[in-house]
């Protein structure tokens, strides 16, 4: 059976990007485990989604048959992004830290994929995510160190945010790989990258 991998790239730095190199390694190991897998790539740096505007938000709450031409066009970005997630078995999300949080392009992407009645619903028992049975790998990079118990740890608004939003949508099985701390002159980026690549195990 074909395994569908959705690869989401957010760094604008192309081949120099640490998070993209880490994501490449994760995808490589997934492909080694599932040789018949196919990869669909969404590059938010080269193809950013539009910020939500009034037309887009109103389109989210309008029945399909009543959408105006303008609303249909506006909602198509969200529909396409959600469709890719629905089709995916495995999601690999590369995300650098920018000013303690995610890139603005990734934030806009999240704004497009969280849709009541489509990717989550409100039930008597609370929130139910509708993107189920998916495995998520997060390829995180930051020049500071946010996982060594140091003073910066409280400022990581990347991993908790992704876990909250993806979890809300039903994608709670998230494994995080992190290349960080290379702002410290004693820490070499290439060394910590390789150490983390060596640690990647695909469940
Ligand atoms: C605009 C910008 C903001 C950044 N903000 C932070 C930050 O708040 N904390 C941090 O540790 N590193 C920060 N960095 C460093 C990046 O997280 C780090 O270089 C990361 O590897 C970049 O990802 P990339 O290599 O995939 O492009 C920032 C870098 C840029 C370009």
- Domains of the chain, by residue range, sit at 4-199
- Whether the full predicted model's pTM is greater than 0.95, yes or no, is yes
Residues contacting residue 71 through CB under 8 Å, at least 6 positions apart: 55, 56, 58, 59, 62
Q: Is the CB of 95 under 6 A from ligand 1?
A: no
Render the burial of 182-194: b for 16+ CB within 10 Å, e for the rest.
Answer: beeeeeebeebbe
* 127 vs 129: CA distance, rounded Å: 7
Q: Is the CB of 141 under 6 A from ligand 1?
A: yes
Q: Is the CB of 23 under 6 A from ligand 1?
A: no
By C-alpha distance, which of 60, 20, 53, 24 is closest to 39?
Answer: 24
Mutate which of 20, 98, 193 to test ligand 1's pocket (most atoms within 8 Å of Cβ)?
98
Q: Given the CA of residue 94, which atom of ligand 1 is nearest to it?
A: 26
Q: Is the CB of 13 under 6 A from ligand 1?
A: yes
pLDDT of residue 1: 86
Q: What is the pLDDT along the chain (203 residues), one digit of tens a residue?
A: 899 999 999 999 999 999 999 999 999 999 999 999 999 999 999 999 999 999 999 999 999 999 999 999 999 999 999 999 999 999 999 999 999 999 999 999 999 999 999 999 999 999 999 999 999 999 999 999 999 999 999 999 999 999 999 999 999 999 999 999 999 999 999 999 999 999 999 98
Domain 4-199 class in CATH: alpha beta
Beta bridge partners of 127: 122
Q: Which H or E run includes 180?
A: strand 174-180
């Amino acid at each position: 059976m074909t395994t569908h991998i959705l690869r989401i790239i957010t760094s604008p730095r192309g081949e120099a990007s640490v998070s993209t190199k880490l994501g490449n390694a994760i995808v490589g190991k997934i492909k080694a485990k599932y040789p018949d897998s196919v990869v669909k790539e969404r590059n938010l740096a080269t193809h950013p989604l539009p910020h939500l505007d009034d037309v887009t938000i109103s389109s989210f709450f309008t029945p399909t048959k009543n959408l105006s031409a303008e609303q249909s066009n506006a909602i198509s970005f969200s529909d396409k992004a959600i469709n890719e997630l629905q089709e995916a078995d495995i999601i690999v999300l590369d995300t650098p830290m920018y000013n303690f949080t995610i890139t603005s392009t990734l934030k806009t992407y999240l704004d497009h994929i969280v849709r009541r009645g489509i990717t989550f619903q409100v039930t008597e028992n609370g929130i139910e995510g509708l993107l189920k049975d998916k495995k998520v790998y997060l390829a995180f990079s930051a020049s500071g160190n946010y996982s060594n118990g140091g003073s910066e740890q409280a400022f990581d608004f990347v991993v908790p945010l992704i876990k909250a939003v993806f979890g809300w949508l039903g994608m709670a099985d998230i494994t995080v790989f992190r290349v960080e701390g290379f702002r410290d002159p004693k820490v070499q980026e290439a060394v910590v990258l390789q150490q983390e690549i060596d640690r990647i195990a695909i469940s």
